[in-house]
Structure 1
Amino acid sequence: MAIKADANPSTASEATEAADAVSRGLRINFGAGALGMAVVLNTPAGILAPFMTNFLGIGATTVATLLLASKLYDVVTDPLMGIISDRTQSRWGRRRPFLFLGGIIAAAGFALAFNPPEFASQTPLIAFMLAALLLTYTGYTVFNIPYLAMPAEMTGSYHVRTSLMAHRIAFVNVGGLISVFSFALVEYLGNDRGAHGTMAWIYAALIVLPSIYCFFGTAPARQTVSVKKTYPIGTQIRTAFDNRPLLLLLGAKLGQLLGLATAGVTGVYFKVVILGMSYTLTTVYLVTITVVIILVLPLWSRASRKYGKRSIYMICTAGYALVTASWLLATAQDPLSYVFVRAVFLGIFGSGVLVMGPSLLPDAVEYDYLKTGMRREATISAFYTTVEKFSFAIGPALALYILGWFGYQAGTEGMQAEQPASAITAIYIGAGLVPAALYGLSLIFLFKYDLSEEKLKAARAAAGAARENA
């Protein structure tokens, strides 16, 4: 179903409940698309850096540069993909064709990244890894930009959007669960270079299948069509920066995602090197977090209806920061139960952070349309994903640069090499101090965020009145 872009949004009140309703089946079909992209994002974030430093013999600072370059590439491609999607006209709409295409491209790049050929020297190996990463993240961009634009089009309901994003986050965490099993799977397959390659082929199938399913499953979704008038890129960027709720949301997400990305890389080193945990036990820890996240998602969705998205978002962000900071007190002599108590609380607070942040994006996207009259859902969503990509470029790179500067010893025989005291200090900083501080910083932006349900209703009414008087 498509609606005209230049139709009035809702004049004096919200669109009817029937028009804004999204069936449970359609919510599931939409959410399922996030599974494959979660595998793309989360698996390399955890296991790729140790694979390159400890199985391919690439130095930590070089790995950091590779990850940084591949993600900064997305800073350019994300806005471009948003504009392409917004201007696309096809029998499948402006968004859905890219769900199919993006999944295939991302799966191919992912498989190549863990299956590099044998090279005589490091230079061609590094070049190959960069090309594989660029292909992987091109596919992620092609899928994810149009995908994140869809909820703002599918419904105008403030709370149905939260439910849509909750379904998405549930599948994100199923994908995250699959990702954390990569450690145990690699260990089971022999914990060598070939084991990583076999894992990657299995996971490539898990990337492409949900993407194709989402393409077919979202066929009944409500869509918008592009307006005839187009705007220069400079105008679109300038007017987007006038969207205060969007900028505050992006500021909050920047701090949170930088913290998450830094902890995601350093956390593996922390569990294995500092706490002496095996890959299998690390997998159990990560599974515990993910299961808790999924279980408490409905609780946070209901709480947001009563207390508001922003309030719940701030509570969960503060809680997550405090639990993350507690890793500074952890030692190898602590009971294992301490690790898993942290896992439970990280899951509880992380669940709220994961669902509340994305649920605010469709509201900011609609607010942009109400203020500017531009149908550019994918372009605005691209700003959000650019922050995500930038964070997952800078965060891991920062963590790995710190490890390199503090003398972390790379190798080709796994993670058994003894590390100097300076590298141990760097791991503590990257796993506890830096991410906790970044989460705390994001609270400043959330404190200023004020796009409530009531303000959004008022903006709809004002936009409708302006069109009636035009």
Structure 2
Amino acid sequence: MSQAGLPRSVRIGYGSGSVATGAFGTVPGLMLLPYLTDALGIAALAAGLIVLLPKAWDVVLNPIAGRISDRTTDPRGPRRPYLLRAGIPLAVAFALIFAAPSMGSKVLESLWVLVFFLAAASAYAFFQVPYVAMPAEITASYDERTRLMTWRVAILAFTIMLAGATAPVIRDAVGGRNGYRVMGVVMALIIVVGAVAAYAGTRRAPVGEVQPGPGTLRDQLRIVAGARDFRLLLTTFVVQALATGCMLAGVDYLAEDVLGRKGATTILFVCFVGPALLLTPAWARIGERVGKKQAYVASSLVLATGALLAATAQVAPSGLVFAAVALVGVGYAGCQVFPLAMLPDAAAVDARRTGSNRAGVYTGVWTAAETLGLALGPGLFALVLAMGGYESSTSNDVQQSDTTLAAITYGFSVLPALLVVVSLWWLRRYTLDAQEVAR
């Protein structure tokens, strides 16, 4: 395992994997619920369940994927082969999610989406878990992991902007269900680019020796669950993923129904991701100066403040709403950099204490919980829509009630802000710092 600084080519190569994770993490969260309710005419609660179930399956599958990668023997390393083995199937399944043919039955069309979303989620587990496990083995440096995550989050932010801004543009330019089909193919190609670039870019990365601990997967999970700092960090991150999932699911509804501005979805995404692209390196420097935990708290509070300001969307000028979302983006950058840089610290401390490398199990649990949080977010937002009386329809002429517009606004703003603030209750008890990690 490398103690020295990594070459920039390795940092960029590793970070390029976020092109795949960013596209898959962003587009379904943004487009799948509107696709189900407005293109296929499926009721909001049923649509929320379709979005949730494949992600819930990942909660079971991700730790298994981590255990398998821990035990993989390959000259290229235990993790790197999965970037291609899972990345390519992920892209194919993703394109098929939005390619449902007209079957004359909402049930059959719903099943089509569910089956291929489940296939994509399964492939994603075997891509994402090994990918997230790699930093714990690439470098043993506390600060180098932050720099590695800085590249990853910067590329992630760019991908979110690219995918999140262009997906609705492609859909609207083509129109109707064909618009979703074309969008799905384009995003699938982006996923392929990310998977191949990460595989090629990490070919010179150091690979630490993997010695998976003895016992069954259940034994390993029990040990990981007993790691106090990991558990606290994970809980914080998952609650924030739930908040992010709510906001992501609400973007299209806020743009179309509340703001009523053509192209507002794309503008909101640019406002969200643009600041993150610019300020991710600044957050990294702040983290090196004050510590990852303190910087994580600060970025969380910035995100929550921006979300609360977005609650004025029904009465404030659009410019103020866009500015509020930009503030959310500033905080979101830090809320990605720091937990992802703290995760390999927790795994490395465990490996040092026990003599067994459980990075795959750690990241399997992490990505399972993150996936569940991001899936519950759209599900929670769908519940808010249903409570607000949202009318699902394939027609563009439906006018939503004032109660529905309020539900969309507060589901996008106040609810996520509260979730982020509540998440800090767990973070305040996290204790790992540079001295502890370096021992």
TM-score when scaled to structure 2?
0.96
Say whether the 8 Å CA contact 2:32–2:51 is kept in structure 1.
Answer: no
Q: 1:437 aligns with which of 406, 418, 421?
A: 418
What is the 5 A alignment of 1:297-446? 297-331=280-314, 333-414=315-396, 416-446=397-427
Please state if 1:260 is matched with 2:244: yes
Q: Distance in 1 between matches of 2:334 and 2:147?
A: 13
Q: Distance in 2 between matches of 1:38 and 1:294?
A: 13
Q: Distance in 2 between matches of 1:229 and 1:276?
A: 55
Q: Distance in 1 between matches of 2:39 and 2:154?
A: 33
Q: Distance in 2 between matches of 1:228 and 1:456?
A: 20
User: What SS is found at the alignment partner of 1:50?
Assistant: helix
* Partner residue in 1 for 2:171: 186
* Partner residue in 2 for 1:199: 183
* Partner residue in 1 for 2:202: 218
CA shift, 1:171, in A, is 1.3
Q: Distance in 2 between matches of 1:228 and 1:429?
A: 46
Please state if 1:28 is matched with 2:12: yes
CA shift, 1:114, in A, is 0.7
Letter in structure 2 aligned against 1:291: G
Q: Distance in 2 between matches of 1:321 and 1:121?
A: 42
What is the 5 A alignment of 1:126-145? 126-145=110-129
> Using a 3 Å threshold, how does the CA distance of structure 1 residues 88 and 394 change in structure 2: closer, same or farther?
same
Say whether the 8 Å CA contact 2:16–2:194 is kept in structure 1.
Answer: yes
Deviates more, 1:174-183 or 1:143-152: 174-183
| The structure with more radius of gyration | 1
* Partner residue in 2 for 1:89: 73
* Partner residue in 2 for 1:233: 217
* Partner residue in 2 for 1:10: none
**1:31-57 C-alpha deviation (Å, 9 max, x unpaired):** 001111210110110011111110111
Say whether the 8 Å CA contact 1:105–1:139 is kept in structure 2.
Answer: yes
> Using a 3 Å threshold, how does the CA distance of structure 1 residues 288 and 236 change in structure 2: closer, same or farther?
same
Q: CA RMSD in A?
A: 1.5
Letter in structure 2 aligned against 1:168: R
How many residue pairs were aligned? 438
User: What SS is found at the alignment partner of 1:322?
Assistant: helix
Q: Distance in 1 between matches of 2:413 and 2:172?
A: 26
Deviates more, 1:260-269 or 1:150-159: 260-269
Q: Distance in 1 between matches of 2:27 and 2:280?
A: 22
* Partner residue in 1 for 2:107: 123
> Using a 3 Å threshold, how does the CA distance of structure 1 residues 228 and 430 change in structure 2: closer, same or farther?
closer
Q: 1:166 aligns with which of 142, 150, 154?
A: 150
Letter in structure 2 aligned against 1:410: S
Say whether the 8 Å CA contact 1:318–1:443 is kept in structure 2.
Answer: no
Q: 2:55 aligns with which of 71, 91, 98?
A: 71
**1:265-315 C-alpha deviation (Å, 9 max, x unpaired):** 12321222112122x222022112212101111111111111111111101
Say whether the 8 Å CA contact 2:52–2:376 is kept in structure 1.
Answer: yes
Gaps (5+ residues) in structure 1?
A: 4-17, 459-470
CA shift, 1:124, in A, is 1.4
Say whether the 8 Å CA contact 2:251–2:412 is kept in structure 1.
Answer: yes
Q: Distance in 2 between matches of 1:404 and 1:260?
A: 19
* Partner residue in 1 for 2:36: 52
Q: 1:296 aligns with which of 267, 276, 279?
A: 279
Say whether the 8 Å CA contact 2:94–2:120 is kept in structure 1.
Answer: yes
CA shift, 1:241, in A, is 1.7
CA shift, 1:336, in A, is 2.5
CA shift, 1:20, in A, is 2.6
**1:136-194 C-alpha deviation (Å, 9 max, x unpaired):** 111211111000000010111111000101111111112101221111121122x2110
Say whether the 8 Å CA contact 1:303–1:312 is kept in structure 2.
Answer: yes
Gaps (5+ residues) in structure 2?
A: none
Q: Distance in 2 between matches of 1:224 and 1:38?
A: 26
Q: Distance in 2 between matches of 1:159 and 1:229?
A: 27
* Partner residue in 1 for 2:253: 269
Letter in structure 1 aligned against 2:78: R
Say whether the 8 Å CA contact 2:66–2:364 is kept in structure 1.
Answer: yes
CA shift, 1:228, in A, is 7.3
User: What SS is found at the alignment partner of 2:363?
Assistant: helix
Q: 1:242 aligns with which of 226, 249, 262?
A: 226
Q: Distance in 2 between matches of 1:207 and 1:228?
A: 30
User: What SS is found at the alignment partner of 1:223?
Assistant: coil
User: What SS is found at the alignment partner of 2:86?
Assistant: helix
Q: Distance in 2 between matches of 1:285 and 1:123?
A: 33
CA shift, 1:229, in A, is 5.9
> Using a 3 Å threshold, how does the CA distance of structure 1 residues 154 and 420 change in structure 2: closer, same or farther?
same
Q: Distance in 1 between matches of 2:372 and 2:307?
A: 22
* Partner residue in 2 for 1:462: none
Letter in structure 2 aligned against 1:84: I
Deviates more, 1:346-355 or 1:224-233: 224-233
Q: Distance in 2 between matches of 1:421 and 1:54?
A: 19
Letter in structure 2 aligned against 1:257: A
Say whether the 8 Å CA contact 1:94–1:225 is kept in structure 2.
Answer: no
Please state if 1:42 is matched with 2:23: no
Say whether the 8 Å CA contact 1:40–1:207 is kept in structure 2.
Answer: yes
